[in-house]
Each structure stands twice: as structure tokens, then as C-alpha cells.
Amino acid sequence: MATIAQWAEGARLRTLPLAIAPVLIGTGAAFGAIGGFSSLIIGSVDPADRPELGIGTLLFRALLAVIVSLGLQIGSNFANDYSDGIRGTDDVRVGPQRLTASGAAPPGAVKRAAFISFGVAALAGIVLVLVSQSWWFVPVGILAVLAAWFYTGGSHPYGYYALGEVFVFIFFGLVATLGTTYVMIQQLPPAAWAGAVAIGLFSCAVLMVNNLRDIPTDSEASKTTLAVLLGDERARAAYTLLVAVPYLLLLVPILSGHPAAVLAALSLVLAIGPLQTVLSGSQGTALIPPIKNTGLTALTYSALLALGLAL
């Protein structure tokens, strides 16, 4: 049986910042759209006819959104471990050990872990739908679970056809960020859209550098990721672009009345290291740290942007 440490590794904790980041941005955009923290504290945006704008209510919805996002991310990680493991894609790995491929855990146990995680996300999602009356969230949630499973699952996984970044951008960028903002205030301000695109691009950057590392083994296993399709050199250029554009997108909230959004530019310091590693031509295990560090850069960017918007 796998140890707790092995299960934690299977959950891929380094990817979890990408689940928290869009909720941070969505929450910050929601607070900013209704006047910021100061307006909530003095009660100017909490009239008797709109009690849903109370700070406690908004933070409770944000907490539920975090649980949904984390459940989907962890479930997706276990589902990927299971599906790639039974296909043999992970038989030869450069990165961290996988539960299924290594034999540390039975495939059925890994599959159950994926669906337990999806179940936690679903329960939190149902509560969020009930408290926000956002019924459209139900089909979106179902689509999110299906997207997580069929990334590498099923007979024709879209992750094997260079579509991984497309779905990551949609669900861990647009859906997670805009969904958070909408269930809180039933609005989608420009800052939320810019933040959603930005974190979607960061998420794609993490996937790109992960798949850049795996180009040799993925090619051998006939797994055509976008990195495999682009080739080594262009995949590195794509990664650079995916990390750089979010900083240009800061102009949107700044010009739409949130000048403190410039705080997010401070996270650029953290992006320099992984960019240097990727652009240096590093291969194999040398590309593992940039995966984690790009995720931490995205989380820091999101936290600072959320703060700037909420101010």
C-alpha cells in the first residue's frame, strides 16, 4: 500500500496553487466591483435589501469556490495518474513517481481517489449553487469534471491531441475566476476578465513546461502534447509568452479604476528564475523546479492582484 507521503505526491501538491489562484483573483475582482473592503466594513454596500453582499457571506462563497477548485485539481491529478498508468505512458518517467505506474497503489484505489476528490468538489459546488442561486453552475460543474477525467481518460483523451492547454485555460482560467466573481456579486467586471485570462495563461505555462520536460517520453508513448507538437525550441518560446502576457494584462484593471493592481507586477521577480532555466535549454529533471516555481509565481501574482483589486 502507498504511504501517506506517496499519496500526497500523487495529489501533486505543487499544482494546487493553480487551483487557489483563480479564486483569489475572482474574489478580489468581486470586492473591487462593489467598492472594496473599506466599503464593506463601513456597511455602505450592505443595505437591508442586499444582505448577500455582507463580508461574511462573500468570504463563505469564496471558501466554497476554493474547495470546488481544489477538489477538481486533485481529482484531475489522480485521474491523470490512473489513466496514464494503465496505458503505460508513465512507465518511463523523468518527473516524480506516479502511484499507478510505479505499483505503489492499485489502479482501482487511484481511480477511487479521483472520484472522491470530484465528489468533494461536487458537494461544495452544490452548496455554492444553493447559497448563490446560480443554477447555471450545475452544468458547468459537470463539464469541469468530464474535462478533468477525459484529459487522459477514455478511448480518445484530448490531452493526447495537443488540447490540454485549451481546456486548462478554459476551466482553470475563465471558468474558475469568472465563476467565483459571479457567484459572489452576479457581475463580471473587466478586471475579472483580465485576471481570468492572466491566470489561465499562467496555468498553461505550468502545463507547457511540464510537457516540455516530457517531450522525449511522451513522443515515445505517442502522446502528442502541444509541447511535442511545437518542438523543444518553440515550446520554450511559448512558455515565455505565456508567462509574459499576464503582466501586460495588468493594464486592464489599472485603466479601469484599480491602480493598485500594479502590485501584481512585483511577482515578476519570481518569474525570472524559471524563465532563465527554461530559456537556457535545460532538460529532464532540471525542468522540475520551474514547474513548481511557475505555479508559485502565479499564486503570488494572483494574491497581489486580488489585494490590489480589493483595495
pLDDT per residue over 139-184, tens digit each?
999 999 999 999 988 888 898 899 999 999 999 999 999 999 999 9
Range 83-93 average pLDDT = 74
> Do the beta carbons of residue 212 and residue 236 sit within 8 Å?
yes
Range 121-146 average pLDDT = 93
90 lies in some domain: yes
259 lies in some domain: yes
At 271 the pLDDT is 97
Amino acid at 80: N
120 lies in some domain: yes
Across the strands, what pairs with 224?
161
256 lies in some domain: yes
At 40 the pLDDT is 57
What residue numbers bound the domain in which 116 lies?
A: 14-310
Of the candidates 199, 201, 200, the one whose C-alpha atom is nearest the C-alpha of residue 305 is: 199
Tens of pLDDT, residues 27-86:
999 999 887 666 655 554 444 445 556 778 888 999 999 999 999 999 999 999 999 888
Q: Is 84 helix (H, G, I), strand (E, B) or coil?
A: helix
6 lies in some domain: no
Task: Please tell me the distance from the alpha carbon of residue 5 to that of residue 154, in angstroms, as a whole number.
Answer: 28
Tens of pLDDT, residues 281-294:
999 899 999 999 99
173 lies in some domain: yes
For the chain, what is the domain count? 1
174 lies in some domain: yes
71 lies in some domain: yes
At 155 the pLDDT is 83
